[in-house]
Structure 1
Amino acid sequence: MTAHTDWPGAVEILNEHGRSDIVLLCEHASNHIPAEYGQLGLDAGHLQRHIAWDIGAAQVTRLLSARLDAPAFLGGYSRLLIDLNRPLGAKGSIPVLSEDTDIPGNVGIDAAERARRAEIMFSPFHDRVAAHLDLRVAEGRPTRIITIHSFTPIFLGVARPWHAGVLHGAASDLAGALISGLRNDVALNVEANVPYVISRDGDYAVPVHGDDCGIPAVLVEIRQDLLSTTPGIEEWADRLAAALPAAQRQTVG
């Protein structure tokens, strides 16, 4: 592995000049951990689990970017090194325990290492997102943020029945319209603010890039077993591609 591939950019940007009103984020797109971190003391199998990334989320984001002609920003490093959707210093920012798994390589790290990860992985991602959003505002372009995630069917022994959730802070109208669009498939169990609730302490993109800037923003969570195959990923990209333009019309009409 070359130094370049071992230390990729903090953010991969797709279709930056896309014409859509939608801006896509995928903070947990990658499970990459540079070799010097020794997999944070974990067996390789753990890096394929949800604790390391959001399984299927990157593929859905890539397809959506193309289907909607929307810019997309994807994170380049594993959430185990530093979580792009947690405020710096928050408990889950650099986890020592993720779900039921200890993360040995994060135990007892000093302030310098925390600052290094923020400088290399966290700040460049969010700086590029913020700059893009600022430019859109300056140009008077309507903007809505959709951040794509996936969740485990079972969490700490508790089954999660939903196929998808749409999480929101201030953007309840956008969330409601998107949920309504997804529910056009009557077989789907889609709810607001599941499997968890957006909070200032536990989330970053929706409150900071969205609510604080007056930009409607929601976080879409898709259950991971539905994204375990290429057809499943394509099906969810198609669903969201159909529901998002309809949601835009409802919230601006």
Structure 2
Amino acid sequence: MAVGPLLSSGDPEPVEILNRSGPSPFLLIVDHAGKHVPARLNGLDLAPSEFDRHIACDIGARDLALSLSAVLDATLVMQRYSRLVIDCNRDPSRVDAIPALSDGTLISANARLSAEDRAHRIHAIHAPYHQAITGILDERTDRETVLVALHSFTPVLAGEHRPWHVGILHADGIPDYARRLLSVLRLNPDMIIGDNEPYHMDETDFTVPFHAWARNLPYAEIEIRQDLLTAERRDHIVAWMARALCDALNSGTTGQF
């Protein structure tokens, strides 16, 4: 572990890369996979229970990604630190890349950061994660690649229930693959599939625009409701999602789930 102003020798590396040589065209990425906090930040002065909430990480997304990577034989890149330390799906220049408030929780340790403190977080966590994705994409320029960003969302936010089971986010660049995936998933009558729900892909999103749009890569940003990613339900979701990803890639829709 490289020691610097933020990370110490006991802290994990910010990026986890699995199956780098996987033959699948899918490159799976998880911006909010982990909930680690650098030791020097003293847990951001939050109660430990806050890190079991959706504000700290995308609950269930890491296990989902590990299973999908295995089923698809796909390369997987994940970020290990909590989004409360720095959100790797935000432009690092944005104020909300290091949130001072998240779903009613005040993160006082983030409220009055100096420019130097922000730079340390960007340098130690945000930059290495995106450099890792860039490096893998550079290695794959001679092969088909579909960038798939995996996220999860809380069933209730600010008291509002969210009916969607899965959302597919897309905007500029080459959104054709995301739209085909949306169509395939909607063949399942038991699932409510959101088109740019529960979030729109907009200026707050960083990872997909930065990597996929810039390279004219097909992509999809997938949001799965967290209550579908429990240990009891995850295997079914993984099998369904893997089939849908492949059907959308092949432009074939069997309709069987």
| TM bin (shorter chain) | over 0.9
CA distance in 2, matches of 1:5, 1:42: 22
Where in structure 1 are there 5+ consecutive unaligned residues?
none
Mapped contact 1:169–1:218 kept (Cα < 8 A):
no
Q: Which residue of 2 aligns with 1:188?
A: 191
* 1:169-199: CA deviation from partner (whole Å, max 9, x where unpaired): 2343211211222223210001210111111
- How many residues are matched? 245
* TM-score normalised by L of structure 1: 0.93
Equivalent residue in structure 2 for 1:77, among 81, 96, 105: 81
CA distance in 2, matches of 1:117, 1:184: 43
SS at match of 2:251: helix
Change in CA separation of 1:118 and 1:159 when aligned onto 2, cut-off 3 Å:
same
CA distance in 1, matches of 2:9, 2:232: 29
How far 1:76 sits from its partner (Å)? 1.2
Q: Which residue of 2 aligns with 1:237?
A: 238
Identity %: 39
Q: Which residue of 2 aligns with 1:102?
A: 106
Q: Which residue of 2 aligns with 1:210?
A: 212
SS at match of 1:219: strand
Residue 172 (structure 1) aligned with residue 175 (structure 2): yes
Mapped contact 1:24–1:70 kept (Cα < 8 A):
yes
CA distance in 2, matches of 1:81, 1:103: 10
CA distance in 1, matches of 2:226, 2:88: 19
Q: Which residue of 2 aligns with 1:14?
A: 18
Aligned-pair RMSD on alpha carbons? Answer: 1.5
AA aligned opposite 2:65:
T
CA distance in 2, matches of 1:5, 1:14: 22
SS at match of 2:93: coil
* TM-score normalised by L of structure 2: 0.91
Q: Which is richer in helix?
A: 1
* 1:124-182: CA deviation from partner (whole Å, max 9, x where unpaired): 11001011112211xx2011100110001111111110001010123432112112222
Q: Which residue of 1 aligns with 2:248?
A: 247
Mapped contact 1:169–1:211 kept (Cα < 8 A):
no
